[in-house]
């Protein structure tokens, strides 16, 4: 056994050296035995890779003969048995002396990539209030992989916090419509009316209750201030007219549902009412 990123432990050390440590860096556990021929092939390969990866993961070796209860706890039935831990939990595993190429491919599912590390650095920069550095890092990731969802959603969130809704939507444009992406898109559309004069719009609507354009503007302004229930009431009122503004009102309501989530009481109530209008 060699290398600063390789340790040999027994059961009493497992909680600290593996489980606790895996909150900071992925830990790969090699369950092995002296008499096991394949272990003598795989073990040195894992040690070499631990040194090569230079701290991107840590390798912990556990002799199953000396730690039978621990091996049973993790369901070790054949050796070598390799298990990765991340965030205090088992993350991936394999059995047998795989070829180096397959072990490297397996490690790619465990070890953060260069792009992942850049995103982690960007999130740290955001927490430190260094938005410029965070934006620089995230944009660099997207220049390399324009549809990297984690980078794009992080950048969109940064722009939304700055009130730059247009750039947030641009960052999200290349992405497939996952739940998080759609939530952020809806948030960007809804908060685009932030700063509108709700009192003035309310007065204008009171003067002309049939003015659908003003009612929609008021709904958007309320939604931008997270006054979702009155906003939904205004959008629903327009939708019930089933005129040329119906799709506009429907889209605004759907955006609110995306932001609140499908199980929110307002989403459940108003989605049913919108459905009764549409169908």
pLDDT, tens digit, 9 for 90 and up, residues 13-44: 999 999 999 998 999 999 999 999 999 999 99
Q: What is the pLDDT of residue 83?
A: 95
Kindly report the CATH class assigned to 6-108: alpha beta
Q: What is the pLDDT of residue 13?
A: 94
- Residue 241: pLDDT above 90? yes
Q: What is the pLDDT of residue 3?
A: 64
The pTM assigned to this predicted structure is 0.66
Q: In what order do the strands lie in the sheet with 81-86?
A: 6-9, 58-63, 27-32, 81-86, 89-95
Torsion, Cα of 52, 55, 57, 61 (10° steps): 80
Higher pLDDT, 153 or 116: 153
Q: What is the pLDDT of residue 2?
A: 54
- Give the pLDDT mean for 1-24: 88
Protein fold of 114-176: 1.25.40
Q: What is the pLDDT of residue 195?
A: 72
Mean pLDDT of the chain: 93
Q: What is the pLDDT of residues 168-221, one digit of tens each?
A: 999 999 999 999 999 999 999 998 877 788 999 999 999 999 999 999 999 999
Q: What is the CATH number of domain 198-278?
A: 1.25.40.10
Give the CA angle between residues 110, 79, 3 to the nearest 5°: 55
* Residue 148 main-chain phi, psi, to 5 deg: -70, 110
- Residue 279: pLDDT above 60? yes
Q: How far apart are CA 129 and CA 186, in angstroms?
A: 25
- Residue 1: pLDDT above 80? no
Alpha helices in 145-245 (DSSP H): 149-161, 165-172, 179-190, 198-207, 212-224, 228-241
Pairing of strands 89-95, 58-63: unpaired
Q: What is the pLDDT of residue 55?
A: 84
What are the extents of the domains in the chain?
6-108, 114-176, 198-278
Q: How far apart are CA 244 and CA 238, in angstroms?
A: 10
6-108 and 114-176 share one fold: no
Q: What is the pLDDT of residues 100-142, one digit of tens each?
A: 999 999 998 888 888 888 998 999 999 999 999 999 999 999 9
Q: List residues with catalytic annotation.
A: 36, 39
Q: How far apart are CA 188 and CA 160, in angstroms?
A: 7
Point out which residues pair with 59 in neighbouring strands.
6, 28
């Amino acid at each position: 056994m060699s290398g600063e990123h390789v340790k040999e432990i027994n059961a009493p050390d497992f909680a600290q050296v593996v489980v606790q440590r895996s909150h900071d860096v992925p830990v790969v556990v090699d369950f092995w035995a002296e008499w096991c021929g394949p272990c003598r092939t795989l073990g040195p390969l894992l040690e070499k890779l631990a040194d090569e990866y230079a701290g991107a993961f840590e390798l912990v070796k556990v002799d199953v003969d000396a730690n039978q209860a621990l091996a049973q706890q993790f369901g070790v039935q054949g050796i070598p048995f390799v298990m990765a831990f991340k965030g205090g939990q088992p993350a991936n595993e394999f059995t047998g002396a795989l070829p180096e190429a397959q072990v490297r491919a397996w490690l790619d599912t465990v070890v953060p990539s260069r792009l992942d590390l850049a995103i982690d650095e960007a999130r740290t920069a955001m927490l430190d209030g260094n938005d410029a550095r965070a934006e620089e890092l995230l944009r660099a990731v997207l220049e390399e992989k324009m549809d990297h969802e984690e980078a794009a959603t992080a950048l969109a969130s940064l722009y939304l916090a700055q009130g730059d809704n247009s750039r947030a939507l641009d960052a999200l444009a290349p992405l497939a419509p996952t739940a998080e992406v759609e939530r952020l898109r809806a948030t960007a559309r809804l908060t685009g009316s932030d700063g509108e004069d709700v009192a003035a719009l309310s007065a204008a609507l009171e003067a002309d209750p049939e003015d659908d354009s003003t009612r929609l503007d008021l709904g958007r302004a309320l939604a931008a201030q997270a006054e979702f229930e009155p906003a939904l009431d205004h959008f629903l009122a327009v939708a019930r007219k089933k005129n040329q503004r119906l799709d506009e009102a429907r889209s605004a309501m759907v955006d609110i549902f995306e932001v609140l989530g499908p199980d929110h009481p307002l989403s459940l109530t108003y989605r049913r009412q919108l459905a009764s209008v549409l169908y």
